[in-house]
Amino acid sequence: MAPSAHCPHADWDPRDPSVQADQIAAYDRLRDTLGVARSDMLGWSVFGHADVLRALHDPQAFSSAVSRHVAVPNGMDPPEHTRYRALIDPYFNAERVQAFEPRCAAIAQALALAMAGQDTVDLAGAYTLPFAVHVQCAFMGWPAQLHAPLADWIARHHRASLAQDRPALAALGQRFERRVAALLQERREQGAGPEQDATARLMHERVDGQPLSDAHIASIVRNWTVGEIGTIAAAVGIVAHWLAHHADLQAQLRAEPERHDEAIDEILRLHGPLVANRRISACPVQLGGRSITAGDRVVLHWTSANRDPRVFDAPGTFRWGRKPEDNLLYGAGIHVCPGAPLARMELRVALRALLAHAPQLAPLPGQPPHRAQYPAMGFDRLPLRLR
């Protein structure tokens, strides 16, 4: 990974083919050699566990207000963030997650059954992405007709992000807002109450006594949709890929379903489903021996932090009994993922259905998976043998 030619002070280029060929290995090398590195594409990238935690727990120095566009609540700082986070957290409480689990499990079962008679399959196309899209639409109360458009939107957004194509990203954002506006208008015409679905419920929420604007609702929904579909699809594929290559662990999880949650978290520590989150420095700060000035872009790399040997003994090895609080799979601090309970349930039912209907997950010789590129993780093609 040579320094970027575009910026004389850059340490690396996130779009370099050697990085995209294996993001995990590239980020590990950057963590171990530099800790904090600069690129013209991302600004400052933070790779070490301690440095990531420092930024997460200091929102005054590392602001989340990184864009001129409204971003609820991920792009907000206290006290504004606190008010909107109080509105959002109940959508993912234990009662609502438990109530949604049967619907989620039925989606996983239907998709797994559709593959059951096949010897081999591209799991990314047949299971992981459809599961994530179908579940998200069910959670939001959206029709099945949106499955294909949403999957296409996510793919286009990933390509535009990698290319740093600002006009394309702006157009995609506008397209998403128009779709949400149409869904809201449909519910207004129906006189939908908050009990109808999560989309209608957002229309009836208030912050500081005022209803949410359509722009704020679209921002919340976009955050849930982009984050949920991309990371859940990646996570299911990562877990399946790992088990296909570790037959002993696969056999253990078939015999001991009560260990699924811990196993999923540990596999996703090894190969995270989300690359990074953005911050902006609100003041001059020293981090990892580098001088960051006020207004600099800062990117926190979850995957490399979760593989830091200073925190995790034998970080590239699956181990039972690691300390859950060290795993940054769902972040930490005030911006810890509010949807973590929902995501854990979804991953559990997806794994349960897959193991129930695939007698043996195994790699296909001569057909390696294709790794996803930034800003995605996991695999966008995952050929596996099912029996």
Q: Considering the chain, what percentage of its residues have pLDDT values greater than 70?
A: 98
The answer to whether residues 351 and 232 touch, using CB atoms and an 8 Å cutoff, is: no
Residue 349 structure tokens: 């039912």
pLDDT confidence band for 272 (50 / 70 / 90)? very high
The pLDDT value recorded for residue 7 is: 42
In a domain, 11, yes or no: no
Range of the domain at 222: 17-385
**Residue 371: its H or E element:** strand 370-371
Q: Residue 266 maps to which CATH number?
A: 1.10.630.10
In a domain, 184, yes or no: yes
β-strands 36-39, 43-46 pairing: antiparallel
Residue 23 structure tokens: 């993001």
In a domain, 2, yes or no: no
Average pLDDT over residues 186-199: 96
Beta-bridged to residue 285, according to DSSP, are 292
The pLDDT value recorded for residue 69 is: 85
pLDDT of 46-97, one tens digit each? 999 999 999 999 999 999 999 888 899 999 999 999 999 999 999 999 999 9
SS (H, E, C) 269-338: HHCCCCCEEEEEECCCEEECCEEECCCCEEEEEHHHHCCCCCCCCCCCCCCCCCCHHHCCCCCCHHHCCC
Q: Which of 2-11, 155-164, 232-241, 320-329 has the lowest mean pLDDT?
A: 2-11
The pLDDT value recorded for residue 6 is: 40
pLDDT of 309-323, one tens digit each? 999 999 999 999 999
Residue 53 structure tokens: 């935690």
State the pTM of this model: 0.95
What are the Cα distances from residue 119, in Å, to 116, 122, 170, 212, 227?
8, 11, 42, 49, 32
How many domains is the chain built from? Answer: 1
Supply the mean pLDDT for the chain. Answer: 95
Task: State the DSSP code for 376.
Answer: -
In this predicted structure, the answer to whether residue 130 has a pLDDT above a threshold of 50 is yes
Average pLDDT over residues 296-309: 98
Residue 43 structure tokens: 């600004």
Rounded-to-10 torsion of CA 360, 364, 368, 372: -30
In a domain, 348, yes or no: yes
In this predicted structure, the answer to whether residue 2 has a pLDDT above a threshold of 80 is no
The pLDDT value recorded for residue 68 is: 85
Beta-bridged to residue 46, according to DSSP, are 36, 300
User: DSSP letter string over 32-55?
Assistant: HHTSEEEETTTEEEE-SHHHHHHH
The pLDDT value recorded for residue 89 is: 97
In a domain, 9, yes or no: no
The pLDDT value recorded for residue 308 is: 98
What are the Cα distances from residue 19, in Å, to 22, 23, 309?
6, 5, 20
User: DSSP letter string over 91-160?
Assistant: GGSHHHHHHHHHHHHHHHHHHHHHHTT-SEEEHIIIIIHHHHHHHHHHHHT--GGGHHHHHHHHHHHHHH
pLDDT confidence band for 198 (50 / 70 / 90)? very high
The pLDDT value recorded for residue 9 is: 82
pLDDT confidence band for 1 (50 / 70 / 90)? very low
Q: Considering the chain, what percentage of its residues have pLDDT values greater than 90?
A: 95
The pLDDT value recorded for residue 226 is: 79
In this predicted structure, the answer to whether residue 4 has a pLDDT above a threshold of 80 is no
Average pLDDT over residues 337-352: 97
Average pLDDT over residues 190-206: 96
β-strands 297-301, 43-46 pairing: parallel
